[in-house]
Amino acid sequence: MDIATILGLILGFGLILVSIAMGGGGLGPFIDIPSGMIVFGGAIAASLINFPLKNNLGAFGVIMKCFLFKLPDAADTIAQFKQFAEIVRKDGLLALEDKVSEIKDDYMRRGMEALIGGASAEEISELLETELAYIQTRHVNGKKIIDSCGAAAPAFGMIGTLIGLVQMLRALDDPSKIGGGMATALLTTLYGALVANVVCIPLAGKLETRSMEETMIRELMIKGITLLGEGATPRAVGEQLLTFLAPKTRSSIEPKAA
């Protein structure tokens, strides 16, 4: 998982824990199983009704993979393609066979294998673009589910608080229970706000960024493989692939690439 996400989650929940500790009374009053059930279960229920079952089942995996899976570095990938182009120029496409088995990234390896296996540029490009479209669809579906949870959690938080208030108000003749009942009632609203604002809303943003980064590196790979297939010179490969990078990153790579 990328470091900023981890730092942010630790900072966010850490601050809340510290703040609870400083207020006195300990963590106890803030933990309530039924409250958690309503908020977390409710968000999951809303997502189950809202989206097809297979999207729901896939969502957790998509999100985890998106955060844990380390994308290949763009600069390294460009350097690799230049090296491959060198080999192709000297010894032909088939000489890449040994190199290909060393590629760690599945997506790129499959494309390279197809190239060496003699598939046409068009076939490889269609194969890889179809897979990229599928990856993007999964990201979009994952983001929709996170967005839905970010909207449903506070709503179920409010529902839980209303249930708690009704129960507390019915027991109003026992004044000693008022404070506790109201405190518990408010917990679902608190849980809902935490789920939405510390987890769902920011995670959805990061997922979008990661999805754009993956799209960029995948498109760079498609272009790189196509260029190898066309027998482009290492220099041409380097120049054309650099245009996929943002200006700043580009200049920081160009020395390496030169």
Pick out residues in 82-141 that bind a copy of itself (CB under 8 A): 130-131, 133-134, 137
In the complex, the smallest distance separating the C-beta of residue 98 from a copy of itself, rounded to whole angstroms, is 29
Q: Three-state DSSP class for 77?
A: helix
Judged by CB under 8 A, the residue of 125, 189, 211, 226 near a copy of itself is 189
Judged by CB under 8 A, the residue of 76, 172, 231, 252 near a copy of itself is 172
Stretch that binds a copy of itself, among 71-79, 91-99, 175-183, 217-225 (CB under 8 A): 175-183
Judged by CB under 8 A, the residue of 111, 142, 202, 234 near a copy of itself is 202
In the complex, the smallest distance separating the C-beta of residue 134 from a copy of itself, rounded to whole angstroms, is 4
* Binding map of a copy of itself across residues 13-52, x = CB under 8 A, - = no contact: --xx-xxx-xxxx---xx---xx-xx--xx-xxxxxxxxx
Judged by CB under 8 A, the residue of 75, 187, 222, 228 near a copy of itself is 187
Binding to a copy of itself, residues 209-248 (CB under 8 A): 209, 246-248
What Cα–Cα distance (Å) separates residue 158 from each residue in 35, 102, 149, 161, 202? 11, 54, 14, 5, 21
Q: Please, which residue, 94 or 246, has the CB nearer to a copy of itself?
A: 246
Q: Quick one: which of 62, 59, 99 has its CA closest to 81?
A: 99
In the complex, the smallest distance separating the C-beta of residue 228 from a copy of itself, rounded to whole angstroms, is 24
Binding status of residue 2 toward a copy of itself by CB under 8 A: yes
In the complex, the smallest distance separating the C-beta of residue 159 from a copy of itself, rounded to whole angstroms, is 5
Judged by CB under 8 A, the residue of 92, 94, 158, 256 near a copy of itself is 158
Q: How far apart are CA 120 and CA 116, in angstroms?
A: 10
In the complex, the smallest distance separating the C-beta of residue 95 from a copy of itself, rounded to whole angstroms, is 31
In the complex, the smallest distance separating the C-beta of residue 103 from a copy of itself, rounded to whole angstroms, is 22
Compute the half-sphere exposure of residue 166: CA atoms within 13 Å on the CB side of its CA.
5
Q: Please, which residue, 47 or 80, has the CB nearer to a copy of itself?
A: 47
Q: How far apart are CA 201 and CA 150, in angstroms?
A: 6
Binding status of residue 183 toward a copy of itself by CB under 8 A: yes
